[in-house]
Amino acid sequence: MRMIDIIQKKRDGLALTKAETTWLIDQYATGEIPDYQMSAWAMAVYFQGMTKAEIADLTMAMVATGEQIDLSEIPGIKVDKHSTGGVGDKVTLILAPLVASFGVAVAKMSGRGLGHTGGTIDKLESIHGFQVERTQADFVQQVKAIGISVIGQSDDLVKADKLLYALRDVTATVDIIPLIASSIMSKKIAAGSDAILLDVTVGSGAFMKNMTDARLLAQTMVDLGNAVGRKTVAVITDMRQPLGTTIGNRLEIAESLSVLQGGGSPELRQFIAELAQIMLSLAGVEKSLAAILENLSNGAALAKFKQMITAQGGDVNELLTSPEHDTRFSKTVVSTQAGYITSFDALSAGLLAMRAGAGRAVKSDALDLDAGLRIFKKIGEPVEIGEPLFEILYNKADFDADKESQVLRDAISISDDKIEIKEIVEIIK
Ligand code: URA
C-alpha cells in the first residue's frame, strides 16, 4: 500500500477499507508514515468525513497500537465514565465512590487538566500522599479488594492517539467529530471496561459549543462503542456555567467531600445521582434515584471514597480535618447590580481560575493546588447589590485581582428574568 493513494482516496470522498485504515494507523504509530502525509489525510477527513465502518476500523486500529488493560480478574460488569471536559467538573470524584457503594466495581483511568478544564488526577493529587501512578497489577488488585480505584492514564495506552492528537493540535484538525470520537473511544476501549457512560458537555466551557455538534459526537461515540461490543450511553450536559460551586483542585476535593457527607448543592447531588443511575443500569443494577441519593447521605459513598484514599496512600485524616486550604491572598467580588443571574461564561471563569494558578496554560506548567474560585451565585439565583458573587483564592503576588474581578463581573449577566437550567439535557443510547 502507498500512503499517497490513501490520501487521494480520502480526498476524493471514498471510504477506506479496514485493511487500508489498519495499515495507515499501524505505519504511523511505528514512524513509517511521516507527519506531513498524516496531516494531509486528517485534513481530507475534515472535508470528506468518515463512514461508521471507517470510524470503527480507525478506533480499533488505534487501540491495537498500545497496551490494553485486562480487567477480567475483577468479577462483574465494569463500567467506565468519560467527560469531554468541563469547568469545575468534579463528577468522577463523587460518582465513582457512589457507584462503587452499590457493589459495582469502578476501575477508572483519568487525565490531567489543560487550559480551562481541570483534570481528576490533579484534583486527587491535592490529597496529601495520594498516589495516582500504579502498576496494572496493583490497580486490578485494589479494585478486586475494595471495588474502586482511580489512577492516571497509562502512558502506554493508544500510542497512535498520542501522536495523532499532537499532530491535529498544530494542523487545525482537532475539531473533526470522527477523529474526536475515535480518539476518546480508543482510550476507553483500551482501558478495559465492559460498558461506558459518556458525558458530552455542551456550552461555552465545553469542546462542543452547540447542541447539533454535541448530539452528533454523542451518537457517533455511542454507535462506535456498541459496534465494538461495549454497551455505551451518552448524556449531553449543560456546560453553560461551571459545575457546582468551586473551581480549583483542593477546592473541588473539598466540595466533593461535602457532597459525600450529605451536603453540597441540591442540583449537583441530583445530577450525580442521575448519572449514577445510568452507570448502575449499564452494570445491570437498577436503583431508584431516592436510593442513590440515600447513599450520598448515609455515608456509604463516603466510606468508599475514604477506602480509596487510604488504599492509594492518601491522608484521610488531614482531608477530614482541613478539607480546604487557605491561600496567601483572597479577593471577594461583589455584585454592582440586583436581579437574577441569567448567563455565566464558564470558559471565562475557567481561564481565570487557571491564571490564579489552578490550571495549566501549557502542559509543563506547575499547579497551585490550593488556588481557585468559589462561586456564590449561579444561573437562576437572585442577587442584591453588594452581595458576594465570587471569591478568588490565590498565592501569586503578581495576580491582578482588581482586573480579574472585572473579568468575573463581565462573565455573568444579571437581569429581571429568572432562568431555569437542567444539567442533563438529553440521553443518547
Ligand atoms: N479529547 C480527546 O481525548 N481526543 C480528542 O480528539 C478531543 C478531545
- Concatenating the DSSP letter of every residue in 179-209 gives HHHHHHHHHHHHTT-SEEEEEEEESTTSSB-
Shared-domain flag, residues 26 and 118: no
Cβ distance 177 to 208 under 8 Å? no
Q: Which one of 161, 199, 368, 370 is the catalytic residue?
A: 161
Q: Where are the beta strands (DSSP E) in 21-133?
A: 79-83, 106-110
Cα(403)–Cα(238) distance, rounded to whole angstroms? 28
Q: How confident is the model at residue 345 (pLDDT cuts 50, 70, 90)?
A: very high
Structural Rg of the chain based on CA atoms: 22
Measure the CA–CA gap between 428 and 399, rounded to whole angstroms. 43
The catalytic residue among 83, 101, 183, 258 is: 183
User: Which of 319, 342, 367 finishes a domain?
Assistant: 319
The pLDDT score that the predictor gives to residue 342 is 96
Read off the pLDDT band of 204 (50, 70, 90).
confident
Closest by CA position to 91, among listed 72, 71, 76, 106: 106
Q: pLDDT-derived band of residue 115, with 50, 70 and 90 as boundaries?
A: confident
Alpha carbon distance 92, 161 (integer Å): 23
Q: Indicate the burial class of 386 (C-beta count within 10 angstroms; 0-12, 13-18, 19 or more).
A: exposed
Q: Is the pLDDT of residue 52 over 90?
A: yes
* Amino acid identity at 261: Q
Q: What is the DSSP letter of 171?
A: T
Task: Give the per-residue pLDDT at 116.
Answer: 81
Burial string for 39-76 (b: 16+ CB within 10 Å, else e) reads bbbbbbbbeeebeeebbbbbbbbbbbbbbebebeebee
Residue 250: CB atoms within 10 Å: 26
427 lies in some domain: no
CA separation for the pair 70, 60 (Å, rounded): 16
Instruction: Say how far apart CA 20 and CA 227 lie, in whole Å.
Output: 19
- 179 Cα: distance to centroid of ligand 1 (angstroms): 8
305 lies in the same domain as 345: no
State whether 219 and 100 are in the same domain.
Answer: yes
pLDDT digits (tens, 9 = 90+) for 119-169: 999 999 999 999 999 999 999 999 999 999 999 998 899 999 999 999 999
> Lowest-pLDDT range, 34-38, 225-229, 247-251, 371-375?
225-229
Query: Which residues contact residue 299 at a Cβ distance below 8 angstroms, ignoring those fewer than 6 apart?
Result: 261, 262
Q: Determine the pLDDT at residue 405.
A: 97
More confident residue, 93 or 423: 93
In a domain, 147, yes or no: yes
> Nine-digit cell at 20?
487500508
In a domain, 166, yes or no: yes
- Is residue 210 classed exposed, middle or buried when 0-12, 13-18 and 19+ CB atoms within 10 A define those classes? exposed
Residue 88 has pLDDT above 80, yes or no: yes
Confidence at residue 190, expressed as pLDDT on a 0 to 100 scale: 96
339 and 309, same structural domain?
no
Q: Is position 195 within any domain?
A: yes
Tell me: pLDDT of 205 over 80.
no
**What pLDDT sits at residue 117?**
82
Residue whose entry in the numeric block shows the C-alpha cell 467506565: 80
State the helix-helix crossing angle for 266-282 and 91-100, rounded to 10 degrees: 50
Task: Answer yes or no: is 119 within a domain.
Answer: yes
From the list 116, 187, 287, 360, the catalytic residue is 187
Residue 349, domain extent: 329-415
The pocket around ligand 1, CB under 6 angstroms, is made up of 165, 179-180, 183-184
SS3 of the chain: helix, strand, coil, percent, to 5: 45, 15, 40
Q: Are residues 224 and 343 in the same domain?
A: no
Average pLDDT over residues 341-370: 94
Establish if 21 belongs to a structural domain. yes
What average pLDDT does the segment 214-228 reach?
95
- Judge whether 97 and 148 are in contact, CB under 8 Å: yes
Q: How many CB atoms lie within 10 A of CB 184?
A: 24
pLDDT of 112 over the 80 cut = yes
pLDDT score of 46 more than 90: yes
State the residue for C-alpha cell 442533563: 424
pLDDT score at 364: 87
Whether 303 and 338 map to the same domain: the answer is: no
The reply to whether 397 and 274 lie within a common domain is no
Q: Tell me, yes or no, whether 197 and 338 share the same domain.
A: no
| Contact in structure between 257 and 319 (CB atoms under 8 Å) | yes
Note the pLDDT of residue 113.
86
CA of 361 to the centre of ligand 1 (A): 17
Q: How many CA atoms lie within 13 A of 371 on its CB side?
A: 23
| Residue finishing a domain among 296, 319, 342 | 319
Is 289 found in the same domain as 348?
Answer: no
**Threshold 0.75, pTM exceeds:** yes
Cα→Cα distances 162→37, 187, 194, Å: 17, 10, 23
> What share of the chain has pLDDT > 90, as a percent?
92
pLDDT band of residue 207 (cuts 50, 70, 90) is confident
Residue 329's H or E segment, with its range, is: strand 329-334
pLDDT at 269: 96
Ligand 1: distance of its center to the CA of 294 in Å? Answer: 35
Residue 233 clears pLDDT 90, i.e. is over it: yes
Q: Is 160 in contact with 28 (CB distance < 8 Å)?
A: yes
> Which residue has the least CA distance to atom 8 on ligand 1?
180
| 142 and 33 both lie in a single domain | no
Q: Would you say residue 67 lies in a domain? A: no
Same domain, 307 and 338: no
Structure confidence at residue 379 as a pLDDT band (50, 70, 90): very high
CATH code for the domain in which residue 277 is found? 3.40.1030.10
Q: Which residues contact 34 (CB under 8 A, 6 or more apart)?
A: none
**Ligand 1 atom at shortest distance from the alpha carbon of 168:** 6
- The count of domains in the chain is 3
Residue 159 among the catalytic residues: no
Rounded CA separation 283/416 (Å): 45
CATH code, 380: 3.90.1170.30
pLDDT on residue 85: 85
For residue 15, the domain's CATH number is 1.20.970.10
Mean pLDDT of the residues in the chain? 96
Domain boundary among 319, 346, 375: 319
C-alpha cell at 149: 480505584
77: exposed, middle or buried (Cβ count in 10 Å: 0-12, 13-18, 19+): middle
**Predicted pLDDT of residue 276:** 98
Residue nearest to atom 2 of ligand 1 (CA): 184
Q: Is residue 83 part of a domain?
A: yes
| Range with the poorest average pLDDT among 115-129, 252-266, 307-321 | 115-129
231 a catalytic residue: no
Residue 121 sits in the same domain as residue 196: yes
